[in-house]
Structures are given as structure tokens and as C-alpha cells.
Structure 1
Amino acid sequence: MNKSKRFLFTLSIMLIISLFLGACSGAKETDSKKKDSGATGQKELVFGRGGDSTSLDPATTTEGESFKVTENIFEKLINFGEGNTELEEGLALDWEMSEDGLVYTFNLREGVKFHDGTDFNAEAVVYNFERWIKGNTGVSGDDTPFPYFQSQFGDIIKEVKAVEEYKVQFTLNRPQAVFLKNLAMSPFVIASPTALEKHGDKFSEHPVGTGPFKFIEWKRNDKIVIEKFEDYWMEGYPKLDRIIFRSIPENSARLNALKTGEVDLIDGVNFSDVPQIKEDANLQIFSRPSLNVAYLGLTATRGPLTDKKVRQALNYAVDKETLITAFYEGYAQPAKNPMPPVIAGYNDKIEDYPFDLEKAKELLTEAGYPDGFEMELWAMPVPRDYMPDGQKVAEAIKSNFEKIGVKVKIVSYEWGTYLEKAAAGEADSFLLGWTGDNGDADNFLYVLLDEDNIGTNNYTYYKNSELHQILIEAQAEVDEGKREELYQKAQEIIKDDAPWIPLVHSEPVLAGSANITGLTLQPTGSDKLHKAEFK
């Protein structure tokens, strides 16, 4: 080849390469602009959250990180309405109750498939409830109850039977006023009996439900991936093809990940960051209806805390207003009862323990601790709507306690271990909180503070026989006025016994990309994401 031909050939090759690279570059730039502009087409949502799930079997856990995921894999007989706790159809189309309140009959949705291809029917419902009633006998080899089932139903359910292929009937031992609301709670989903038999105690790692998304992958402390279930019964849903739940423990790191586009949605937003998020045109704030309480639990079986006067003294020693100013930026109100004011039966006549260090010292002296004592205070290792920074809140409370001579050692553990050890009664005092599951007082007072639930959700090991009788009576009372009176009396007893220091009721916020639409947050904290999409 002569020089002129070689030059033309080289020039042609360079021109082809240049055009190819330019096209590639242009394609990448277009894709980038497409995502940045929020144009339609994005089908994957990355949800940055403060901690990993502890279990993907809803029956075995009580914590919100798990329910954030499982609420989208599984379904229940009854749903809550969008943004409220009103009852709506779910896997059951309708239901009726007998006059004596002991028999409930449900007509089930037909044509629904589990993710493994098996059929949802009445027998599947019976299988799940019989599993919960038996407890963990067939799984872990002991008779440990499933925590939420024990808390919400106990020995209420006498029998569950399939009347027809798509009709199931529940017979109760005694009436339960909150029976239907309990069924709408996140733990009581209907799982595939086939998958439960196949995976046994590993079902938590292989969850199979009827929900809009199916489980794909779980890398511990990193991510959980769920994908669109093509055979989902609700036509046109879900809108997204894939959701990735990313564990990013630090609040600031999650916000940075949102700003850079690494994630599309985050929870555990520092309230101090809300103004800057609102000013960013690429972001938006989502507000959750408030249905929570943050508290410091005082384990009533440990050391000086066995004395009611000591627990009362510690209540006097916490400055709640300062906590709200320092850590909630006004997005909270002081808590004086174990349940929020929006719940029917809330006792607003109760007067909170004021911040009074001298009164606290006086009570400690009366209890025989004029020089105080030593104890551990456990700090939550993950952020929650009701507790944005457990470590800092613990440090502030420690400072208050040391002013009355109570020397505090702050302790923390990995989230799953924290819950397990606290449930076993190993903490002197511990920071926790609760987001209501069904909008009823029973879900706060009975579940968290009754003697029936010691070792499950009653981490303080507090018991009071009078309180127990009131709470059991309230469960069976169908007259709402009488139920409210019973719960108001219960709160008076709890206030005096002081097993908790109720801290705040927060007004939770999430932050997300400005082009997310169709997202409605539930007051229960367990959000369905099947209608979410990118506009």
C-alpha cells in the first residue's frame, strides 16, 4: 500500500472510531440526563435505610426494618387503608361476625398465586394460623411462641377451619374487640405452606408470599433485593420492576447517598436536615402520620430498678424539652403516656413527671440510695423515626442522671443482638420505641406492658395484676366508651408504677428523589411500595 492510500485508510479508521466513541458518549450522556431529569423509564428504586432486617419471616420478628421489606413480599387477609388504619379488603374480599363476637367468616380472593406457583386458598390460611398457634415447636425444637402472635392473640383463637376452598372460619374462645385490626398487622401475612415445609427454619432466608414483589437476594448488612411478581393479582401493579433495600447506618451518609443519586429514598432523616432538603429542587420530603412513642425502659427486675420510687426518680430526672430541641428540631412533642394522643382512650388528664432534679434526689433518698447507684443504659444502634440518634439521646440522659448521683455506663450492640438481649431482660435500662401496628390502645398498653408479654414485647419485665385484669377486660369490651375508660385507668396505673420513661411522640419524615410519585406512607411504618414509580 502506497503512502497516500495508507493515509486515507488510517484517516477512515480514525473517523469510524471517533464516530463510534462519540455515539457511545452521547448515549451515556443521554441516559444520565434521562435519570437526572426524572423522565419516565426508571424502574428500579433504591431505598436507603438505617439498619438491616433481622428476619424475612414476619412471624418471627417484631422490628420495623423487617416489615419494611416483608410488607411488599407478603399479603394479609385484611389491609389498612392508604395513610390510615381503616380496614379494607386484602386476601379476604369480605367478612362477617356472629352476634356473640365469637365466629368470623371470611370470603377469600380467588385466582391468587404464591411466588412459587402454588395456589392461595383457605387451607393455606389454616396452615399459617396453626403454625402460629403451635409456636416454634416444629422449627426450633422448643415451644417458644411467635412474639407478635402471643402478644396480639394469646389463647384467643380456638379453631381455624376451611369451610370451602375460598372460605375460612375463625372461632374464638372469647370476644376480642381488636381481632380484625390485629389481622391487618404486618406479622400476620399468609406465607406459602409449600415453602414453609420446604425451608423449615430457613424460611426467613427464602420468603414466599403472594405480594407484588418476590424475594431475590439478601446480603447481610448490605442489601435486600425484591423484584416484580409478574403474576400478581392486582392488574397494573407493581409499577416498579425492582426495589433494593440498602443498609446505610449513618444518617448523614444516607443523605449524601440520596443527593448523589446512589439511592432514591431514605428514612431516618435528621430533623435538622429537613430545611436543606426542602430547598433542594432535586429532592422532596415525605411526611408519615405520627403513631409512635420513644421511651427509656426501666427493667423492673434488676437491682435498684425493682423499687418504684427509683423508677419515679429517674422519670423526674429527664429533660424532655431539651431532647426535643436538640434532636428533633421541633418535630416531636413530649410523651407522658405509653401511647400517642391520636389513639382512642388516651388519658390527657394525666400530668407528666416534670423535670425536677431535687424531687428525683428526694425519692432516691427515700428508696435508700442517697448517693445514687450505678447502672447500664443501652443506646439503640440504628436510627428510627422516633429515635433519630440513639447514642446522642443516651448521652443526654446520662448527663441528667449523673446530676442526681446515678452513674451511667452507655452500652450498645448490633441491632439483632440488642433486641434479643433486651427481650431476655439483660438490660438495666434501654432506649426503644414503638410505632403502632393497628391504631388501637391494646397494641401499645397490652403488647408492651402486660405480664402476658414478658419476654416477647414487654422488655421491662413489669407486671401488675390490676393492670392485667383491666387490659384483658378491655380486649373483650365491645362498647368503645367503656373500652376508653378502661384504658384511661390503665394509664394511671402505668404512670404511677413508672416502668418506662416515655420520651417523645415524633413526627417522622422521609426524603426522596423529586421524581418519585405514588408513594403513600403508613402510620404503622410498614409501607406498601407497589404504587410507587418515577414520573
Structure 2
Amino acid sequence: MRMKLDRRTFLAGSSALAILPYTRFAMAAGARTNPIIAVDADIGNLDPGNRVGTTEGNIIRAVCQTLVRFEPGKTSWTNDAAKEIKQISDTEFDFELNPGQMFTGGFGEMTADDVKFTYDRYINGDKNGKKLAYADDLEALKSVEVTGKYTGKLVLKHPSAALWLIGICDASGAILSKKAAEQLGDKIATTLIGSGPMVLKEWRPKEQFVLAANPDYKGAYKAHFDEITGKIIPEHKTSFLSYQAKELDFTAFDADQLATAKGLPDTKVIDIPGIDYTWIGINVVKGDLADIKVRQAIRWAIDVDAIIQGAYSGATSRAKTLLAPGLLGNWADAPLYTRDVAKAQALLAETGKTGLTFTFTCLNDATSLAVAQIAQANLAEVGITLTINAMDSGAYWALGAGDASKDLELTLIPYTSKFDPSFQTQWFLASQIGLWNWQRWNSPEFDKLHQEGLETLDKAKREAIYVNMQKLLDESASCIWITHGRNFFVDAAWLKPMFLPNGKDWQFEFFDKA
């Protein structure tokens, strides 16, 4: 049977994720021909399988082709590098590539060998056999068989509800040139060779990157702008000032500036409810934190409601579990831990521990620092001293490699969600210890349920699986959930940015004039 690659994959409740525009749409006088935008994190790693965050993911999707590509602003998809994909069974798919799709840098035409090379890295690891950071996005893949220059077969280990949504369509599915990757070696982390609508023309670390239209691109999704410049500005307050000074055409901004944003001329304000998750992670094997009563005491002592008011200006809702409302597996009845100093003190008394001192690691932006300072004051009231270790984004996210996170104690962690719950749960697996499981929590039951969730197609059964997984996380007292976020943007009225419905995955190839 033929796979319908234009089918809708919106999740239940996705109407809550709609983009809500405000204010005027008049064309600004003297508008730039090409947009200049702000991004809040620098490029960390351009290897699709080892990327660090959304900055790289957004660039990778614009520069590289995938077999199928997300449509503008939607989680439905259509063919991209693939001319045709046929579903043979629940675990077999035949694909045929469009001929004449050329990699930049003189690395030749894309063939089925490049697809096999790309996906084999997720199956077998990098050239040294090391597991890719995003390997679980394509966990269901068993093998890729080349049947011709442009044809091949994807063979799955089991049926998968998530493979296309968070793997093949997304940055993890970016098709690499085998020749380029082998020639570049470790430089794959800083050099991106693709065949997509755009090229990475320039990157000046900590300053800016420039995406340019790819003149050799053969596909249907040609870029609408000659260039898009991304200015790296970690602080939203700084980038918002730059926008007001007309140095930028698009930026995120903080909630406490919403009223100001609505009053700006020739500006659209975009408000997208978040599906991400920010939490305080606790290292469950580090010193006194290995005692669950200490972790429970910390959870009761920290005033999350005060954090929402003080750090987020009350403009975002409080999270109480991993998966946001509207996502498959949201645990609606999850407990809400309202601050209780007496309970925290009683738990600490049971441990017999006094004079506890921990380090709280976070990013050095204003919001993260405000969260850290509130937590510091809260814990001081129950006799726990927190030392704040604020880091720039490069150093902070580098903790996700080489077991650099092993000595973390309390950490404020902001993660971006995808549209299938397995993407969120994968970071808490035992296999992620030393990578992104900074809690170092190891639950064989959680890992088993994660695998069951990957292999189950029945929606109700998957829902129950992910609720049970969140219950295990709750019992561990390893995570204090803060917020699922809320995404605010301003953009010049002449510009039409494009996002996937989570607000964090930007589709540069579909940015256009309004």
C-alpha cells in the first residue's frame, strides 16, 4: 500500500498551539530586503545526530533535505528528497529519491548510499561506534537497504508511531553526504554540507550566522529570501531593545515586556503557548542528594508559584509534570507540590543531615538567574545553602558530552519538546546518563515502558504508558517542574516568519514577506 505522506499528524488539543497575532500589519517604511533576526543561543554542533539545541536544528532543516519535510507551520508533511515512499508493511518502507539533488561544496549528487550512510550512524553509532546524542529519534530503524542508485528500503525493528514525526521529518532525518562526512571527520560538527533550500554562508561564533538561498537546490521549497542573518543575542531584553531600534526584524521577548510590544508601530506580536519543559533536575547519586528524603524536602521547600510570578512575571502557567497539556500522555492528575516549609523541615530532620550545601547550575540569562535566586532564598529558610553557578550557553550545553555533567547537583534545565511523548521521555533513560540525563536517574521500569511506548500504535495504550512513566519520575523526586513556557515574538509587519506549532522550531526556508 502507498503511504499517505500528506496525512495530518496533529495531536489532541493542538488547537491550543495556534499562533495568535496581535496589533498592526502595515508595511514599515524603508524595510530591509532580507531579514535580520535574533537567536538566543549560538551554534553548538552542526552534526544532525549530535546537535545541541533548536538553533542548530532550525539551521539543519533549512540547509539539508529530509526524505519528507514538514509543511509550513504544520506537523503534517510531504515529500522532499523522496520522489516516492511506499509502505510495504508496518515495518517496511520503499523509497525512491528525486534524481539531480546536489550537495554543496562539490560533493556530488545525493544517492541512496547517502541515505543509508546517514541512518546507519543512528543505528550503529559514529565512526568510532559512539552512540549519537539523538539516536533514539530513529530508534525504530533496524536497517537501510540500497536497492538502486536512487532507491532503497527502510526496515523497522517494530511498528513506530514516532519515527516520522520526530525522526525522519525533523533535523535527525537530515540527509548527509557520505563523501563529505568521511572527508570532514570531526569537522562535521562545524561544517554543514547539505542539498536543501539554503546554505550556511557564514558563521561567526558568538556573533552571527548567515543563511543564503542555495542556487543549486532542485526541490520544491526554494527560499523566499536571498539571505537571513541570525544575530546571536542570549538576552531577550537586549534583543528586544535592538528590535525597537530597528536593528532587527524578528526576536523573542520576555513576558514582562508584552504591553510594550503591543504598542510598537509596524509590528506583529505573536503569542504561542509552550509545550516545552523547564525543570530543576537533582542528581540522585551525588552525595547527600542520593537520599530521597533530601530530594523530597527540596521539592517541598522550593516555591514554584513564586518562581512563576518573580521570574516569569506571572505570564506563563506552572508545570506539574513532564508532558504539557495537549500532548499525548499528559498526566492531568499529577500532584502539584505547593510550598510547605514544615514538611521540608520534617523530612530533613528525619535524615539527620544539617548544614547541607549544594551548587545550583543554570544559564546566565536574567530569567534563569531569577529562578536560581528564588530557589536559593527558599532553601535558605530550611537550612540548605545554595551556591549559584551561572554559565554562558556554550559552556552550559557542553555539559551534555563526555560525562561532564557527573558532578552537577541541582540544575535548572530548559528543554524543547517535540510532538511525540517519546522525544521527551528519552532524555531520562539510563542510556542518557553521561549525555543528557543530568539527574543520573536509572529506572529499568521506566526504560522498559519507554520501549513499549515506542512499539505501541494504539493511542489509548500509549497514553497509559506515558502517564505511568511520569508517575515513576514523580516518585523519584529527581525533577521539580517549573513551566511548559510561553513564546512571545515581535516581528516587522513586512515579514512573515514561520514556525512549527511548538514555537521553537523555526522554518527558515519558509520565512517570507507578509
TM over 0.5: yes
Superposed, 1:10-29 pairs within 5 Å as none
Other structure's SS at 2:62 match: coil
Corresponding residue to 1:197 among 172, 182, 189: 182
- 1:223 corresponds to: 208
Contact 2:429–2:446, Cα closer than 8 Å, also in 1: yes
1:310-355 Cα offsets, whole Å, 9 max, x none, are: 2222111222222222232343211111121111111112222221
Corresponding residue to 1:144 among 127, 130, 139: 130
Instruction: Tell me the CA shift for residue 131 of structure 1.
Output: 3.1
**Residue 374 of structure 2 corresponds to residue 396 of structure 1:** yes
Task: Name the CA distance, whole Å, in 2 between partners of 1:80 and 1:329.
Answer: 34
Contact 1:301–1:461, Cα closer than 8 Å, also in 2: yes
**Residue 69 of structure 2 corresponds to residue 79 of structure 1:** yes
Task: Name the CA distance, whole Å, in 2 between partners of 1:89 and 1:308.
Answer: 49
Corresponding residue to 1:43 among 33, 40, 60: 33
- Taking every aligned residue pair, what percent have the same amino acid on both sides? 22
Could you state the TM-score of these two structures normalised by the residue count of structure 2?
0.88
Superposed, 1:458-477 pairs within 5 Å as 458-477=437-456
Other structure's SS at 1:243 match: strand
Other structure's SS at 2:117 match: helix
1:497-529 Cα offsets, whole Å, 9 max, x none, are: 121111111111122222212534541622112
Task: Name the CA distance, whole Å, in 2 between partners of 1:36 and 1:479.
Answer: 50
Instruction: Tell me the CA shift for residue 166 of structure 1.
Output: 2.7
Superposed, 1:356-375 pairs within 5 Å as 356-369=340-353, 371-375=354-358
Instruction: Tell me the CA shift for residue 372 of structure 1.
Output: 4.9
> Quick one: which amino acid aligns to residue 493 of structure 1?
L
Larger mean CA deviation between 160-169 and 415-424 belongs to 415-424
* Structure index of larger Rg: 1
Contact 1:83–1:289, Cα closer than 8 Å, also in 2: no
Instruction: Tell me the CA shift for residue 377 of structure 1.
Output: 0.3
Larger mean CA deviation between 451-460 and 428-437 belongs to 451-460
Contact 1:318–1:400, Cα closer than 8 Å, also in 2: yes
Task: Name the CA distance, whole Å, in 1 between partners of 2:84 and 2:302.
Answer: 48
Note closer, same or farther for the CA distance 1:372–1:77 as it changes in structure 2 (3 Å cut).
farther
Other structure's SS at 1:72 match: helix
Other structure's SS at 1:400 match: helix
Other structure's SS at 2:363 match: coil
Could you state the TM-score of these two structures normalised by the residue count of structure 1?
0.85
Superposed, 1:227-306 pairs within 5 Å as 227-235=212-220, 237-267=222-252, 269-306=253-290
Task: Name the CA distance, whole Å, in 1 between partners of 2:412 and 2:349.
Answer: 25
- 1:338 corresponds to: 322
Larger mean CA deviation between 218-227 and 90-99 belongs to 90-99
**Residue 107 of structure 2 corresponds to residue 107 of structure 1:** no
Task: Name the CA distance, whole Å, in 1 between partners of 2:85 and 2:34.
Answer: 36
Contact 2:269–2:490, Cα closer than 8 Å, also in 1: yes
Corresponding residue to 2:105 among 109, 116, 126: 116
- 1:11 corresponds to: none
Contact 1:122–1:167, Cα closer than 8 Å, also in 2: yes
Other structure's SS at 1:164 match: coil
- 1:433 corresponds to: 414
Task: Name the CA distance, whole Å, in 2 between partners of 1:235 and 1:480.
Answer: 33
> Quick one: which amino acid aligns to residue 263 of structure 1?
L
- 1:407 corresponds to: 385
Contact 1:401–1:407, Cα closer than 8 Å, also in 2: yes
> Quick one: which amino acid aligns to residue 52 of structure 2?
T
Task: Name the CA distance, whole Å, in 1 between partners of 2:400 and 2:379.
Answer: 21
Corresponding residue to 1:442 among 402, 409, 422: 422
Contact 1:380–1:391, Cα closer than 8 Å, also in 2: yes
Superposed, 1:311-330 pairs within 5 Å as 311-330=295-314
> Quick one: which amino acid aligns to residue 299 of structure 2?
N
Task: Name the CA distance, whole Å, in 2 between partners of 1:518 and 1:374.
Answer: 46
Contact 2:282–2:411, Cα closer than 8 Å, also in 1: yes
Instruction: Tell me the CA shift for residue 38 of structure 1.
Output: 4.9
- 1:213 corresponds to: 198
Contact 2:277–2:415, Cα closer than 8 Å, also in 1: yes
Other structure's SS at 2:482 match: strand
Task: Name the CA distance, whole Å, in 2 between partners of 1:466 and 1:242.
Answer: 49
Which 5+ residue runs of structure 1 have no aligned equivalent?
1-34, 383-387
Note closer, same or farther for the CA distance 1:83–1:331 as it changes in structure 2 (3 Å cut).
farther
Other structure's SS at 2:260 match: helix
Contact 1:296–1:503, Cα closer than 8 Å, also in 2: yes
Task: Name the CA distance, whole Å, in 1 between partners of 2:71 and 2:472.
Answer: 33
Note closer, same or farther for the CA distance 1:280–1:237 as it changes in structure 2 (3 Å cut).
same
**Residue 475 of structure 2 corresponds to residue 490 of structure 1:** no
Superposed, 1:132-211 pairs within 5 Å as 132-136=122-126, 138=127, 142-149=128-135, 151-154=136-139, 156-181=140-165, 182-211=167-196
Which 5+ residue runs of structure 2 have no aligned equivalent?
1-26
Contact 2:273–2:485, Cα closer than 8 Å, also in 1: no
Note closer, same or farther for the CA distance 1:85–1:304 as it changes in structure 2 (3 Å cut).
farther
> Quick one: which amino acid aligns to residue 341 of structure 1?
P
> Quick one: which amino acid aligns to residue 134 of structure 2?
Y
Contact 2:301–2:339, Cα closer than 8 Å, also in 1: yes
Root-mean-square deviation (Å): 2.3
Contact 2:279–2:482, Cα closer than 8 Å, also in 1: yes
Other structure's SS at 1:502 match: strand
Note closer, same or farther for the CA distance 1:247–1:307 as it changes in structure 2 (3 Å cut).
same
Contact 2:71–2:78, Cα closer than 8 Å, also in 1: yes
Note closer, same or farther for the CA distance 1:496–1:245 as it changes in structure 2 (3 Å cut).
same
1:73-99 Cα offsets, whole Å, 9 max, x none, are: 122223334334334333234434444
